[in-house]
Structure 1
Amino acid sequence: MISRRHFLAAAAAGLALPRYAVARTTLPDGAVLTTVSDGSLVLPGDFIFAPMPEAELGPLLAELGVSRDRLTPECNLALLQRGDRTVLFDAGAGPDFMPTAGTLPDALDAAGIAPEAVTDVVFTHAHPDHLWGVLDDFGDPMFPEAAHHMGAAERDYWADPATVDTIGAARATFAVGAARRIDELGDRIQTFADGAEIVPGVEAVLSPGHTPGHMAFRTEGVLILGDAITNAHVALARPEWPSGSDQDQALAAETRLRLIDQVLADDLQIVGFHLPNGGMGRLERAGDGFRFLQS
């Protein structure tokens, strides 16, 4: 297994590790799961912290060493290579969302993986940093040979013309951008439901709240979380607290707790899109909450 810490140490020593690989593991069936970087986001603290109990939040953030005002979460996409399939989970932000994100094409190039070699793009949800990279600089499909897979409820929500008027002003651009890309992809998108086997050995796990039809994915002892757990600080220390990043805050908190219970009960490794140091690791109990341990 190669963690980001090992990767950086090896790079300093001049060893030939793939420079695109933020974290990597070999699964029991021989498949290789890697996280590749799409850069990072820059977010105001209130994007996550606004609905949380302020009197308890301040001391907790101080204890965790997290800024109240500004967050810079990583964007880590899971890349699964199994047999003749090269499966990318989410498509990154592309060139139009945020200047600190959208580096996936460079990461794939460094990996020696042409966009045409990606056989499947599997979406956890349709927020900009997960969907907008599906089109290139010219508005054409970034992965022209890939089947694109999105949960039916998620696709229907963002394709609905009413969503832009009901999602709230702060997320209206999310809705416009998602609808445009879903329309451009058209029948390239194959939809699925909870429990479906999306590609061989990959099972969909409904995980709503962050968005209405958010999906996680389970494969060979690993749970790919997307944004069901959006950070390794408050989302784990106090998973029951509402987060401003979630569209349905109460449902998202229920989902977090359910997934954490499942991860611990089944001793699963996790991959989180915005978790630190490549996003690959495990969870353990820590006081009244939980802690992310980097692989």
Structure 2
Amino acid sequence: MKLPRRNFLAGSAALTAGAALGLQSGSAHAEIAMGDIKIDVVSDGSLTLPGGFIFDPMPRDELLPILDRYGQSAEVLTPPCNVTLLRQGDRTVLFDVGSGPDFSPNSGILLTSLAALGVTPEDVTDIIFTHAHPDHLWGLLDDFDDPLFPDASYMIGKKEWDYWMDPNTIDAVGESRASFAVGAQRRLSMIEDQITMFGDGEEIMPGIAARASVGHTPGHMALEIRNGTEAVMILGDSIGNDHIAFAKPGWASGSDQAPETAAATRTRLMDQLSHEKTRVIGYHLTGNGIGYVDKMSDGYAFVAEA
């Protein structure tokens, strides 16, 4: 059988990168089992960002001692990118698709990570987006600008879709994020006939419910996976790091499009998740992103699972 050129190149790149990274067939970034639901958290690499991207709005005299406590530089951020893969019965579901090759030189390795689990793009049946920022959406297309997951259906919050597809957003979002809007519109328009919108509180698939977590973007959604008494909350970027977001959730962050709204969302989520002891998966949280939120006397802390 002759493979299409796109598939051949994608497979070759995955094998080459996999060998370089020492990935073995069947290995996973991390695993969670919930009855007949299997969740793998796989890597799309990492980002390298200036510290000011998050820290500029924060009071520096209070900020620096906290960062020192966490061993976090104030000048450079290198957050991981953790993509969640869910398999149940005949469904193979991705929550976000990484950044692809066009956003950051240290990211875009999702295909490699999936290949290590024996998962191909053609295996993916459903894709659910938390939001449409580049490191979550731009992996939608391959090197030839064709949809990378040809047999998948797509889902996104209606408010998020409406925001990024509004032609006025490119001018309104600000110069530093204008390319985000251009990239989002181009990619989302290519799957317009295959995408379904959802709203807050909807069960979008059996056992998967949407939870509005706005502020980082206007329509950001967290996704709650539930099986009996077990639950996992996929946070997306509603809680965007494992240091200052936990220590001072009420502080405005430069990474959020509506900083005050995002801070209120983050504080509410921290309170809920710590109270309910809900396991979380954070896209940019340390290690594989899996852990719990612990309430402290002066804020919160991320407790990563071993």
The TM-score range, normalised by the shorter chain, is over 0.9
Partner of 2:21: none
Partner of 1:257: 267
SS state at 2:94 partner: strand
CA distance in 1, matches of 2:30, 2:302: 15
Task: Tell me which amino acid in the other structure corresponds to 1:284.
Answer: D
User: Is 1:224 paired with 2:230?
Assistant: no
User: Is 1:269 paired with 2:279?
Assistant: yes
Partner of 1:63: 69
CA distance in 2, matches of 1:122, 1:47: 26
Displaced runs of 4 or more, over 2 A: 16-19
User: Is 1:23 paired with 2:48?
Assistant: no
Per-residue CA distance 1:187-209 (angstroms, 9 max, x = gap): 11111111111111100000000
Q: Report the aligned-residue RMSD.
A: 1.3
Partner of 2:292: 282
User: Is 1:212 paired with 2:230?
Assistant: no
Partner of 1:179: 185
Partner of 2:5: none
CA distance in 2, matches of 1:291, 1:30: 30
CA distance in 1, matches of 2:275, 2:293: 11
CA distance in 1, matches of 2:244, 2:263: 12
CA distance in 2, matches of 1:111, 1:229: 27
Partner of 1:100: 106
The normalised TM-score by structure 2 is 0.89
Aligned residues: 279
Deviation at 1:17, TM superposition (A): 8.0
Partner of 2:10: none
Partner of 1:84: 90
Matches within 5 A, 1:44-193: 44-193=50-199
Per-residue CA distance 1:106-158 (angstroms, 9 max, x = gap): 11111101111111000000000000001111111111111100000001100
Where does structure 1 lack aligned partners over 5 or more consecutive residues?
1-15
CA distance in 1, matches of 2:148, 2:42: 16
SS state at 2:143 partner: coil
Partner of 2:40: 34
SS state at 1:277 partner: coil
34-43 or 264-273, which moves further after superposition?
264-273
The normalised TM-score by structure 1 is 0.92
Deviation at 1:286, TM superposition (A): 2.7
SS state at 2:106 partner: coil
SS state at 2:269 partner: helix
Task: Tell me which amino acid in the other structure corresponds to 2:124.
Answer: V
Deviation at 1:96, TM superposition (A): 0.7
Task: Tell me which amino acid in the other structure corresponds to 1:65.
Answer: G
